[in-house]
Structure 1
Amino acid sequence: MDLENRPLKTTKPPIRRRARQARSKTTVQSILTAATELIAEQGVDVTMTEIAQRANVAMGSLYQYFADKSAIHRAILMQHNAAVRLMLHDYASRSTDAPSFVVAMESAFEQYFALHQQDPLFNGLWSIVQTDAELQRIDIDDSLQNGRYLQSVCAPWFPHVDADRTLAACALVMQLAMSTARFARGIPPTIGTQTRPVFRAMIRDAFAALQAEERQRVDRDG
């Protein structure tokens, strides 16, 4: 047979390696689930030993995947951010014009606010973020990423408004939505409940300002 013309064999990962990869993903998720449950139950002071016991993995296996508790916290935060991003995209993708976009943002905030009040993990996670500079950076980057996505959705309705201004409005709405939900958990419930309509009005005002600027620029430029 002509070796130069012989068909090349496609290489696939050995079955044993694929099995190891699948087991690794399962182990990692078990560790993160255990850590999430413990943080929700006990707060931020859970130990690596407690996490290993809850996940039913050996300490050696735990450290094989996560060098320290900060690495676990980072992975949990990134999973949380990804889930929030999916929720945000689901709401924003329904928008057909500026008014429906504002309604979508209010609805997304309502769902996020409710989750924050109902799930103790949210409070524990924020306590961790406040004490970790790297997690704070990840949190800010996530707000900017979500802001850029929202800008891409609403930009066609504000074509004459400076892009950075639109991005600032979108990113600030995201960051303040999270801050509002966190703040409401720490204040008397009668006041915390009132933060919802107050912030929804702030969302409307933020995008009403963009709409007003759009009209002004169109009128000015003729």
Structure 2
Amino acid sequence: MRKSPTQKRSRERVEHILASASRLIAERGSDTMRMSEVAELSGISIGSLYQYFPDKAAIIRTLAERYNAISRTCITDGLTDVKTIEDLQQAFSALIDEYYGIFLAEPVIRDIWSAMQADKALREIELEASRQNAILLTAALKRALPEEDLGKLQASALLVMYFCECVMRLAISTGETEGRVLIEAYKRMAYRSFDDAPAPRSP
């Protein structure tokens, strides 16, 4: 954001801007959203809009960062009590179900992340979010598998969390019936990466 709101009226204006942008993205996608449309729907002048957001990418980035913060909170709360691999599998299953529920309630998230793929700076934000989520998962994995190599756990955690975002977008795109099948398949794939059995050696 160009201008950080400090007064209540300014904060309310920013919230209204973001809500208007989300509505436009949900209706037609981010590609066709124009700053002039955001300003009109928000009931403000284009100059006032630019005081807070210099361009469309800034709006998308702010929305994405908000959803990323929600994700981190879900992961932190969901994995806090994990001590064993069984705990981890149960907690991870509940976490993925909760996360999918957020996507179902806010399908605009899919469109926001799709918009991020077209902008290098925004793609880096998504990768950093996956890295931060992977740190949380690695900590839980290390508690459940204390003898396992930390590097292996970190790599597995990053893959699991990065693919999680991809699976969520796919599940939302296919519809809820097929989406839930995909979510369950993803869980099974993730569980295998949590297995502490050593990988078979190549002959």
Instruction: State yes or no: 1:200 paired with 2:153.
Output: no
Instruction: State yes or no: 1:106 paired with 2:83.
Output: no
Between structures 1 and 2, the one with greater helix share: 1
Gaps of 5+ in 1: 1-18, 214-222
Q: Distance in 2 between matches of 1:175 and 1:194?
A: 19
Instruction: State yes or no: 1:148 paired with 2:135.
Output: yes
Task: Tell me how far 1:188 sits from its aligned partner.
Answer: 6.8
State the match for 1:41 in structure 2.
27
Corresponding pairs, count: 194
State the match for 2:197 in structure 1.
212
Give the percent of matched residue pairs that are identical in Structure 1 and Structure 2.
30
Task: Tell me how far 1:191 sits from its aligned partner.
Answer: 4.2
Mapping for residues 1-222 of structure 1, pairs under 5 Å? 21-44=7-30, 45-187=32-174, 191-208=178-195, 211-213=196-198
Q: Distance in 2 between matches of 1:40 and 1:190?
A: 21
Question: Which amino acid in structure 2 is aligned with residue 66 of structure 1?
Answer: F
Deviations 1:89-137 (A, max 9, x none): 1211132322112211111112222332443302211220121111111
Which has the greater radius of gyration?
Answer: 1
Question: Which amino acid in structure 1 is aligned with residue 197 of structure 2?
Answer: A
Contact 1:41 1:120 in 2 (8 A): no
Question: Which amino acid in structure 2 is aligned with residue 212 of structure 1?
Answer: A
Distance 1:30 1:198, change over 3 A: same
Contact 1:147 1:171 in 2 (8 A): yes
Deviations 1:13-59 (A, max 9, x none): xxxxxx96333222222211211122112211111111112222221
Q: Distance in 2 between matches of 1:122 and 1:98?
A: 31
Distance 1:189 1:36, change over 3 A: closer
Q: Distance in 2 between matches of 1:188 and 1:49?
A: 32
TM-score, normalised to structure 2's length?
Answer: 0.86
Give RMSD over aligned pairs: 2.1
Gaps of 5+ in 2: 199-203
Task: Tell me how far 1:190 sits from its aligned partner.
Answer: 5.5
Distance 1:60 1:203, change over 3 A: same
